[in-house]
Structure 1
Amino acid sequence: MSYARTLLQPADVQIARYYYNNRDRLVSSSTPARRPKSGQRKTGRSEWMRGQARKDLMKLGEFAEYDLSVVSRRTVPDPHRTTAMEANELRLWDKCAACHRELGTIAYRYYLTKRIERYETRAYLDPNSDDETGSFVALRRLIAILLQERMMLDMEEAELKAVGFDGMFIALGRGVRVTGFKEEMGWSTEGELRAYREANDKTARSEAGSSEGLPVGDPNE
């Protein structure tokens, strides 16, 4: 029996979150209680055991390497994240899990897209909000959380397990990888967002203007 299957499988599709919540149990069931050999990097016992378990599970094919382009690989928490932002992000993260269970994957993907659009509009219209949870940086982090959720909908189960085991979640404090965010959204700074939205608005007006005066045709034909 594989190590990962010693855990009960989640009833919903939030596999990554499930493996994050249960990774200590997974480590204890998969790694013998031994200390690092002399000369190895001096890390804490639990960190060393987690690394060994990850290697074992990779070899078994239970885990797979993944690419989450919007999430920073650095384990240091985002220094711009305040206590209020943290609480707000965790509320959003919990709501995402509930919506995923309730809506199913197809409708959940649509929900994520529409919510991303709403946060982008807020960041564009009021980037200097006095409310720290509504600041440009805070809203960009919320968008990144939703982008990560949407990306994970297209990942394989083994990849999702590894994401959870690694704790690779923006909602838990990881930083936003600017290059990946910009690839997904078309902007990353306030100035880039203004230029992006103004260009889109100009295109929309141009398309609307070009359609005026065109013959509609007989609807009965």
Structure 2
Amino acid sequence: MTASRQSLRLTLCWVLLACLMFLGLGRGLWTPDEPREAEIGREMLGHPGFVPHLNGKPFFEKPPLYYWAVAGSYAVAGVSNASARAVSALAGLATLFLLFLWARRAASDRAAFLAVFMLATSLQFFQSTHWVLLDPLLMFFMTLTFWGAWERLTGDTGWWSLAALYGGICLGVWTKGLIGLALPVAGLLTGGREWFEVGRFLGPNISGHYRRYPVSWTVEAWRRAG
């Protein structure tokens, strides 16, 4: 297959995936989670800050990153159900793109296409990326984290793999709190001896990042809430 035909096929595949990801985003919100998450994003748009609010009261259950993203979507496309769900859809599409790049680097183009096809057509993935839900954004950051860890494990010493690893963890924590740290640490410690060595080496630095960013957000949140 010529390079131009392969490029055309790749482009068509991503166009189809984008259509799939943005299909049906404008339907009514489903209780109990979607109305709450969409409203918190709307209030974040009206009153930006580090502390999310629900019905005018501080909402301390989740960090602000996801709600910043929803507020940004509202600011660009207007307040609507589709705008609220667009964050999850974009996170899902970005996760598929990361998976494609990772699988192609680790194996082949064929393996990358198969990996993306399997994930994109799984029921849970399709469902979560079409809801007003912060999990797809966390999924993107965790995929970035484990790709960075895999690159370090396979001998990459560049700055980008370390940035992917640490950046994914920090942004994951800003998205869903401690679970953004617990998932990658658990994965590193249980993924075999080589992964355990990576986890042990990175542990102190990960701990330092966690103290610096999420804990500082928590202190600031409580301070501003009075």
Asked if Structure 1 and Structure 2 have the same fold, meaning a TM-score greater than 0.5 normalized by the shorter chain, the answer is: no
Give the helix-richer structure, 1 or 2: 2
Structure with greater contact order relative to length (CA < 8 Å, sep ≥ 6) = 1
Larger radius of gyration: 1
TM-score of the superposition, structure 1-length normalised?
0.29
